[in-house]
Amino acid sequence: MQTFSKDFIFGTATSSYQIEGAANEGGRTPSIWDEFSKTPGKVWNGDTGDVACDHYHRFEEDIEIIKALGVDSYRFSIAWPRIFPSEGQYNPEGMEFYKKLAKKLNDAGIKPFVTLYHWDMPKWAYDKGGWVNRDSVQWFLDYAEKCFEELDDLVSMWITHNEPWCAALLGYYEGVHAPGHMNLDEAVRVSHHLLLSHGKAVELYKNQLHLTKPIGITLNLSPVYPASERVEDELAANNYDGYLNRWFLDPVFKASYPKDMMNLYSKQVSSFDFIQEGDMGTIATSCDFFGINFYNRALIRYSTTSPLLFEPAESDYPKTGMGWDVSPNEFKELIRTLRRDFTDLPMYITENGAAFQDVLEEDGTVKDVERREYMEQHIEAIAFLNEEGMNIRGYYLWSLLDNFEWAFGYDKRFGITYVDFQTQKRYMKDSAKRYAEIVHSRQL
Ligand code: PNW
């Protein structure tokens, strides 16, 4: 049997655009995801976040679910276009929503863990060049400063950015996330400006505002394995590791971009002149913790037809509903690698979870055995890792609710709570009930 200490943080997570809805209320203006989801052909079934889980109106009911889970903490994100609906225009009404939410959480003894950027850049900022424009760093800082000033009292920990790889590479290179560009030159610039805005926000928080809550960044990481021992596959796996993991890990922890990737990218990126004097030191500004979102390992093989020479390979692992390998052992390897090669910081698993096809039974139950097993396997892995001294301080299950799963719309359900999107009724799935048991007993 595995046990967790009293101060280990169990939590659950969501993000603003995926759950809030109320897209035109409280002074909010559109974000790049409103635009993208309304562009035909971009999101499954033409789904949008206009209503989503209607959390903006139902947050009190949702806090009751969080209470029923008994978790220590809840991770959510702030919608930037609620706070700055246009350039330089602070909107107190938008901030009020997050104050109410954070207050109610605190009243219930649940620690708010707040992400500033979970991908919903205001459209006004995009119209001025978005993250490709270096001015975006300042726009983000203005937004971050308001959040820090208004909310710090009510927040227990801060995350600057969630998964900059998705925002930069899925948004500007692969074209599957907002704003749907396919341009490596832009994507690499965007990644730099995201990272720079992270470093500057941490400096602002600590050195100028003298605030003291823990602050850090969350990366999505997958340990990468070659499909065979062929040198070509090993090369491809190394490139994919550079593309997904090291392009973000190296700047944050080593103040430099990986040389092999600079080389690979230089064939398609006209210049690296966007890296200015002092930037790398700023990006590597020390944080208080490191956030990791883990879903799956990656199995990669060589490809002559893809520009960066890698592609996913077929694997015989059990899969989630996203087609992602269930890989708790590789999760352990990832954490050991991070400890050995990158950082001594306390770690938080800020997301982990799985989509599966769920069936809502007539009695209101959802018997999501696979999701329960996925969750148990990863929580158990954390217990083993901590026995080895890996210092993982918390675990946030993705997600509290079924929600808008980006390009997959409402087709993929990651929730431990089932949402009937017709009626907005919520039903705790079996995985949620099991999670509540684990959280309560601190054992599995
Ligand atoms: C993360 N990929 O997104 C996000 O932080 C969540 O908002 C999201 O709902 C969750 O994981 C589940 O997908 C990702 O294509 C989206 O590799 C796509 C990828 C990875 C993470």
93 is catalytic: no
Helix (H), strand (E), coil (C) string for 125-181:
HHHCCHHHCCHHHHHHHHHHHHHHHHHHHHCCEEEEEECHHHHHHHHHCCCCCCCCC
Give the number of the atom of ligand 1 that is nearest the alpha carbon of residue 170: 15
ipTM of the complex: 0.93
d(CA 78, CA 59): 14
- Residue by residue, DSSP assigns 66-120 as HHHHT-SEEEEE--HHHH-SBTTB--HHHHHHHHHHHHHHHHTT-EEEEEEESS-
**What does the pLDDT look like over 88-131, one tens digit per residue?**
999 999 999 999 999 999 999 999 999 999 999 999 999 999 99
**What does the pLDDT look like over 302-355, one tens digit per residue?**
999 999 999 999 999 999 999 999 999 999 999 999 999 999 999 999 999 999
Establish whether the linkage from the previous residue to 122 is cis, with ω within 30° of 0. Answer: no
Q: Are 184 and 269 in contact (CB under 8 A)?
A: yes
324 annotated among ligand-binding-site residues: no
Report the SS3 class of residue 409.
helix
**What does the pLDDT look like over 390-432, one tens digit per residue?**
999 999 999 999 999 999 999 999 999 999 999 999 999 999 9
CB of 143 closer than 6 angstroms to any ligand 1 atom: no
**What does the pLDDT look like over 233-279, one tens digit per residue?**
999 999 999 999 999 999 999 999 999 999 999 989 999 999 999 99
Q: Are 194 and 132 in contact (CB under 8 A)?
A: no
163 is catalytic: yes
Give the number of the atom of ligand 1 that is nearest the alpha carbon of residue 399: 9
Give the number of the atom of ligand 1 that is nearest the alpha carbon of residue 162: 5
Residue nearest atom 12 in ligand 1 by C-alpha distance = 405
Q: pTM surpassing 0.90?
A: yes
Q: Which domains does the chain have, with CATH numbers?
A: 9-441 (3.20.20.80)
Residue nearest atom 16 in ligand 1 by C-alpha distance = 166
CB of 162 closer than 6 angstroms to any ligand 1 atom: yes
**What does the pLDDT look like over 139-195, one tens digit per residue?**
999 999 999 999 999 999 999 999 999 999 999 999 999 999 999 999 999 999 999
CB of 76 closer than 6 angstroms to any ligand 1 atom: no
Q: Which of 365, 416, 398, 423 is nearest to 58 (CA)?
A: 423
Report the SS3 class of residue 372.
helix
| The pairing of beta strand 298-302 with beta strand 310-312 | antiparallel
Q: pLDDT at position 142, please?
A: 99
The H or E element spanning position 293 is strand 289-293
- The residues that bridge with 351 in the sheet, in sequence order, are 293
| Beta strands, E only, 327-416 | 347-352, 392-398
